Amino acid sequence: MHPNGNGFVYAELLNGYEVNDKGMTNIRDFTEEELRTIIQKSILSLAPKTTVESSIVGDQFEEKWINQDNFTLVLVNEDDMWNVYAGLNLDGTFNSYAEAAEYLDEEGFSRL
């Protein structure tokens, strides 16, 4: 961050942010709430997988979704199905990514 209000946050692993060639997004025009949100999401996106996440996900495609209470769910593509996990617990199974994403969105979650 710079005293003139310009700054950048790493957001390459996040959805919904325009990034430059280094994966950074400019935060100059962000509100305080938007700035807090992107920093929190950036930190979570860079955190190493927990033991629980590693045991569930392995090398498969996964996305983290978070709600306003900072509760995180993991969406995993397994055997042509899309599974949502809350820790080690299977929360739901869906036939397509779109169905799983719709469910998570309806439950108040957004992609990191």
pLDDT tens per residue, the chain (112 residues)?
888 878 999 998 887 899 999 999 999 999 999 999 899 888 887 776 666 655 555 566 778 898 988 888 989 988 889 999 988 889 999 999 999 999 999 999 988 7
64 in Cβ contact with 111 (< 8 Å): yes
Q: Same domain for 36 and 69? A: no
Kindly write down the DSSP assignment for every residue of 50-110, as one continuous string.
PHHHHHHHTTS-EEEEE-TT--EEEEEEETTEEEEEETTEEEEEESSHHHHHHHHHHTT-E
Q: Same domain for 32 and 74? A: no
Q: Same domain for 62 and 97? A: yes
Using a 10 angstrom Cβ sphere, with 0-12 exposed, 13-18 middle and 19 or more buried, the burial of residue 59 is exposed
* Structural domain boundaries enclosing 33: 8-46
Q: Same domain for 14 and 37? A: yes
Residue 82 lies in a domain: yes
Residue 40 lies in a domain: yes
Q: Same domain for 97 and 63? A: yes
Q: Same domain for 38 and 57? A: no
Distances in Å between the Cα of 26 and the Cα atoms of 41, 45, 93 are 15, 17, 37
Token pair belonging to 39: 């920093």
Q: Same domain for 56 and 104? A: yes
Q: Give the chain's domain count.
A: 2
Q: Same domain for 55 and 98? A: yes
